Amino acid sequence: MSTVLIIFFILSAVTLATAFLTVFTKNPIHSAIYLVLCFFSVAGHYLLFNAQFLAVVHVIVYSGAIMILFLFTVMLMNLNKEDEVHKPRTTRLAAGIIFILTCLVLLAIFIQTKPIVGPYDDTGVDYQSIKVLGNVLLNEYMVPFEFASVLLLVGMIGAVLLSKREKTEKK
């Protein structure tokens, strides 16, 4: 076995194990920490593809920003068994349906993809360089890029709106 293959197996084992532990752990903080580990091993997979930029951005965005905010919230909330809100039956039903639909979408994706990768042509373009990446993003993929930025903006405004206290009986 080549070294890359061995690393791949180790990484995959870590990814899967931590992903399952995230779901099955009772303690929400342990669960969040397992998710962080899972993200790290996914970044390792990107590195195996020689996608350094993607790997580091993944670490910065997911492990460094999103999961920290996540942990933050979980640590400040009192998540004991006794305080847990009883979830009504309709919510559980909706969750089940959404889960099945997601599974269907994922299955469809897996069936559609071709697992055998075609020959990789190295065209002499350095795909690690941010100059190339920027050119591709802002020329070829301009519209999706702008859509993504609009989506982020909407998310941001929504977060501000939700966190703002409603002014009711003042004045």
48: its two tokens: 């195996």
Nearer to another protein, 117 or 162 (CB): 162
Question: Which residues ranging from 108 to 127 are in contact with another protein (CB under 8 A)?
Answer: 126
The Cα 36–Cα 135 span in angstroms is 31
Question: What single string gives the DSSP state of each residue in 45-97?
Answer: HHHHTT-HHHHHHHIIIIIIIIHHHHHHHHHHS---TTTPPPPPHHHHHHHHH
Q: What does the longest C-alpha to C-alpha distance in the chain come to?
A: 74
- What is the distance between the alpha carbons of residues 21 and 18, in angstroms, rounded to a whole number? 5
Residue 145 tokens read as: 């890029």
**Number of shown-chain residues binding another protein (CB under 8 A):** 23
Please pick, from the candidates 17, 71, 136, 137, the single residue that binds another protein as defined by CB under 8 A: 71
- Under the binding rule (CB under 8 A), the answer on residue 72 touching another protein is yes
76 is an interface residue for another protein by CB under 8 A: yes
When binding is defined by CB under 8 A, the residue of 7, 57, 136, 137 that contacts another protein is: 57
Of how many residues is the chain composed?
171
Stretch that binds another protein, among 66-74, 86-94, 104-112, 149-157 (CB under 8 A): 66-74
Phi, psi of 15 (to 5 degrees): -60, -50
Q: Which of 8, 22, 31, 64 binds another protein (CB under 8 A)?
A: 64
Which residue, 52 or 102, has its beta carbon nearer to another protein? 52
**Pattern 16-35, binding to another protein, x per CB under 8 A?**
-------------x---x--
- Which residues would be at the binding site for another protein (CB under 8 A)? 29, 33, 36, 52-53, 56-57, 59-60, 63-65, 68-69, 71-72, 75-76, 126, 128-131
